[in-house]
Structure 1
């Protein structure tokens, strides 16, 4: 998505290669004054952000518990940012990058999914699981290793094609303090996240990848205290697909037609790709073995 913004978006990286065009240019600008109130609330997302989708006149309005409100025109071409500060606060930019822009991608025809994305040797893997499954910790552990590239730790963007491609998105991995300590991450590369108590953004010491890579597998994480070593096993495709549907990210979850379109898009993207369960013991020393398993899988699917 091509963006022209008068607001600095330091947490977003640009693509080095052209991607499918999603409508016209998106223009982002900051509006002075207090944020307007929504006329009607359409949907409220669960979770720490407390994001709510509403309407104001003919426009959309998204707000959250953090600073910032975002007014979007019906054609998804203009995004107006309301913040308590000028320039917008770090909390406002965090919501914009991690919650608003991924949903705009969906509204413009891409697919985003609640999953982490990691790549090695120019090939990508989606890491899926419910909140607390270990997506961010696994992603941070891999991203800190040579040969691995971070694409996303939360909402991942996928483009249809033969093969489908992962697009790199937000920078950094968001982690709670126990994971920062357990992975022995460099404190200099971990910064406190706005709006959270005890959560940090880890930025690996590696060049940022800006080019998309082919997607090679869906991997569902499953921590298992009875498991002594990590293992990958094929999943029943119907069960895996149902689990993936639950992780789809929509601009307007109250829109049944948008939901059906997203399911159809996911079906086309997942066709022919392995759907695997990664079972592993909940220990921080297991990630080198996980890296070896996933690398082997990526190479097998090349």
Structure 2
């Protein structure tokens, strides 16, 4: 599995991934879609020209690749769509987000593909912040009802232009796919522990009518934005998790905060964006001014 951060020592496997004979259909389905079927604890996904995937109980993934499909393509879909479904099987809330650690709390950046989630996380990583997760953020409530983010142990995934603009060439790993200018990038430091949510930012470009800066929507609108930024939103409804998203959205809004961040998409404006964020973290009590100065170095 390319793109995963190596672990020191032996650990007990939480998920097994293996090549198997994946059935073409499930018995006792409770829901179906154009290319998937779900029973109580099994999920069958078929990706044309890639293969079929069988997920069981939130802990097992079996795959059968289509002819002439290589390891790179299988790995990309396993780590992306398939693992996102597995987390939904566990009743995790899964956001399309990257996250960094700020003073022991996870700060999440949500948005559609191309919104700059990974690039912003990488820019903050280059300034000394620790990566928590990239592309997918799995959230649960702890025993006290506090929303926590679980680290995913992955490298960042960045396009060449982002790597060049952020001067991260020395951290660039292998290409995600042959003839594709997107690469795995060592984050430098990455968290291996779950941590409370400190803030969630919905990323937008500052095109009219959006004004540049950070704003806080009301609780209902914030929860709706959260659901809209679920990893594969259709699964939220089809797997009966819409209420869970509203519950965790309300918990995040109460304990941390859901915000919109509208900013220029130019690399030349990245320093300004980081400054806005650090000032906002001090304003909401996530950091003190001295802590921000220490991180900036």
TM range, normalised to the smaller chain? Answer: 0.7 to 0.9
1:190 to partner: Cα distance: 4.0
**Do the aligned partners of 2:50 and 2:65 also contact (CA within 8 Å) in 1?**
yes
In the alignment, which residue of structure 2 is the partner of 1:293?
A: 276
In the alignment, which residue of structure 2 is the partner of 1:155?
A: 136
Q: Determine which of 33, 37, 61 is the counterpart of 2:24.
A: 37
Question: What does residue range 165-184 of structure 1 map to in structure 2 within 5 Å?
Answer: 165-184=148-167
Taking a change above 3 Å as real, the CA distance of residues 272 and 122 of structure 1, as seen in their structure-2 partners, is closer
**Do the aligned partners of 1:28 and 1:81 also contact (CA within 8 Å) in 2?**
no
TM-score where L is the length of structure 1: 0.74
1:211 to partner: Cα distance: 1.2
Q: Determine which of 199, 203, 216 is the counterpart of 1:221.
A: 203
Taking a change above 3 Å as real, the CA distance of residues 195 and 235 of structure 1, as seen in their structure-2 partners, is farther
In the alignment, which residue of structure 2 is the partner of 1:192?
A: 175
In the alignment, which residue of structure 2 is the partner of 1:28?
A: 16
Gaps of 5+ in 1: 1-7, 17-24, 45-51
Q: Distance in 2 between matches of 1:279 and 1:240?
A: 15
Are residue 61 (structure 1) and residue 49 (structure 2) matched? Answer: no
SS of match in other structure, 2:241: helix
What's the CA shift string for 1:18-69, capped at 9, x where partnerless? xxxxxxx85524235x65434699235xxxxxxx42359x842123357453
What's the CA shift string for 1:241-298, capped at 9, x where partnerless? 2121112236944526333333333333332422222222222122233223323333
Q: Distance in 1 between matches of 2:222 and 2:181?
A: 33
Question: What does residue range 279-290 of structure 1 map to in structure 2 within 5 Å?
Answer: 279-290=262-273
The structure that is helix-richer by fraction is 2
In the alignment, which residue of structure 2 is the partner of 1:134?
A: 116
Question: What does residue range 252-267 of structure 1 map to in structure 2 within 5 Å?
Answer: 252-253=235-236, 255=238, 257-267=240-250
SS of match in other structure, 1:238: helix
Are residue 144 (structure 1) and residue 131 (structure 2) matched? Answer: no
Q: Distance in 2 between matches of 1:124 and 1:217?
A: 7
Bigger Cα displacement from structure 2, 210-219 vs 292-301 = 292-301
Are residue 11 (structure 1) and residue 1 (structure 2) matched? Answer: no
Length, aligned pairs only: 273
Taking a change above 3 Å as real, the CA distance of residues 100 and 195 of structure 1, as seen in their structure-2 partners, is farther
Taking a change above 3 Å as real, the CA distance of residues 29 and 133 of structure 1, as seen in their structure-2 partners, is closer
1:183 to partner: Cα distance: 2.7
**Do the aligned partners of 2:217 and 2:258 also contact (CA within 8 Å) in 1?**
yes
Q: Distance in 2 between matches of 1:278 and 1:126?
A: 11
